[in-house]
Every structure is written in structure tokens, then in C-alpha cells.
Amino acid sequence: AQTVTQSQPEMSVQEAETVTLSCTYDTSESDYYLFWYKQPPSRQMILVIRQEAYKQQNATENRFSVNFQKAAKSFSLKISDSQLGDAAMYFCAYRRSANNTNAGKSTFGDGTTLTVKP
Amino acid sequence: DSGVTQTPKHLITATGQRVTLRCSPRSGDLSVYWYQQSLDQGLQFLIQYYNGEERAKGNILERFSAQQFPDLHSELNLSSLELGDSALYFCASSEGPLLTYEQYFGPGTRLTVT
């Protein structure tokens, strides 16, 4: 079974600075997807960024980028130029690919609460 | 706004009762996913339907069941409710398991069992 571990329950960052959230996972599969989701106080789950395991290039979405280390099974999220609106809980998630049975099944980490200080 | 709608927003009921949560996916999305987010269990995947058929199953209890209808909306039925079933239940949709894995989440239904 897959597991996802977020070792930082809470993180804080000064506005305009950079912060990195950690995520490690355990799997025996070679093909899968990894995601970071943001959950602000409204509780809405918002997709931040996605990485396909077969792609070596790290995904980037504006101020958000990932450091995907497949061999180390690590998938960290870097937020640059942090803004007050980035304050939220961030979840790392693993999803099996279409080639596997139970393809849609997702596994989430416990989340990291990010505080942005003005 | 993700385009995924969930009703009701809040639900308060008593132990032993049965409730139905409803989800309408984004226009054009064929897959619907259900998730449970509780304080002690975190965010857990329950079940996925694709074009009316069950596609993937997670940690869904036998007291829970779901279905996806021909118009693609989905319902999650929770029966013999227990205090521990109190949680935020999310529905998400995607275009399809083979085309894209980008899931769009609804606003959730907060269930309180008293």
C-alpha cells in the first residue's frame, strides 16, 4: 500500500520570502502521479501543482514549483515570493496511474499548515 | 468556483440515521470521486465512479454506498450513522481516468452526527 508522509505539521514564512514544504512517499509502482493541494480556511480543496512520475522535469506553476526526486521518493513544494493568500493547509497526494488496478485511488498526507507573516 | 456542486452544505443528524449526499460534477466530467476529511483520519479517498461504473475503491465502510446516475451526478449514502462519521465529505470530478487526472473539488458537505 502507498503511504504519504508530510513531516512538518506547521510551517511559517515571512511575506515575500520562500518556503519549502516536504513530502515523502512510499510505493512499489513506477508509474503514478503526485499532487499538492491547498486548503484555505474556506475548506475548498484547490489543486496547486501536479507531477507525472515519468517526467524528469520538475513541474512549475507561477510561484509554485516542486523538487521531485523519484529515487528518493521525495516531492517537495517550493513557494516563492510568499503572499498572505498562500496561508492554508497544504496536502501532498499520491495517485495511482491508469495502468494500475484501482487507478483512481488517492492517498493523502496529513497536511502542513502554512502561516504567512506580514 | 470549481464547477462541482454539492448539496447540502451542512447536515446535522442523529446516530443510527441515514443520509444522502449529492454531487454534480463539472460539465463534461465523467469521473466522480468521494473523499472524507475528519480530524482523526485526515483526508481519505472513499470511492470513484466513471461513467456510471465503480472504478476504484478506497477506505469506504460497508455502511456507506455510492452510485453515479445516467446524468452523471452522484450520491453518497451513509447509513447507521455513528458519531465518528462526523466529517467533511468532498466530491471531486475529472474528465476521465485515462485522459487527465486533474480533479476539481466541490465545496464539501459538513456532516455532524449527534
What average pLDDT score do residues A29-43 get?
91
Residue A104 has pLDDT above 80, yes or no: no
Contact B33, B96 (CB under 8 A): no
pLDDT of residue B103: 86
Which of A36, A39, A29 minimizes the C-alpha distance to A79?
A: A36
What confidence category does residue A42 fall into, taking pLDDT thresholds of 50, 70 and 90? confident
Q: Is the distance from CB of A91 to CB of A32 less than 8 angstroms?
A: no
Instruction: List Cβ<8 Å contacts ≥24 apart for A51-58.
Output: A51/A75, A53/A97
In chain A, where do the E strands start and end?
A: 3-5, 10-14, 19-21, 24-26, 32-39, 46-52, 60-61, 64-69, 74-79, 88-96, 106-108, 112-117
- pLDDT exceeds 60 at position B98: no
Q: Could you tell me which residue, A2 or A26, shows the higher pLDDT?
A: A26
Q: Is the pLDDT of residue A13 over 80?
A: yes
Pairing mode, strands B5-7 and A64-69:
unpaired
B40-97 tens-digit pLDDT: 778 899 999 999 999 888 889 999 999 999 999 999 999 999 999 999 999 999 887 6
- Judged on CB neighbours under 10 Å (0-12, 13-18, 19+), A16 is exposed
Contact A35, A92 (CB under 8 A): yes
Contact B30, B101 (CB under 8 A): no
pLDDT score of A101? 64
With a cut of 60, say whether residue B100 has pLDDT above it: no
Preferred mutation among A36, A105, A107, A113 to probe B, highest tally of B CBs within 10 A: A105
- Return the higher-pLDDT residue of A50 and A104: A50
Closest CA to A108 of A47, A57, A66, A31: A47
Is B45's CB within 8 Å of A107's CB?
A: yes
> How sure is the predictor about B99, in pLDDT bands with cuts at 50, 70 and 90?
very low
**What backbone phi and psi angles, to 5 degrees, belong to A16?**
80, -5
B chain contacts of residue A107, beta-carbon cutoff 8 Å: 45
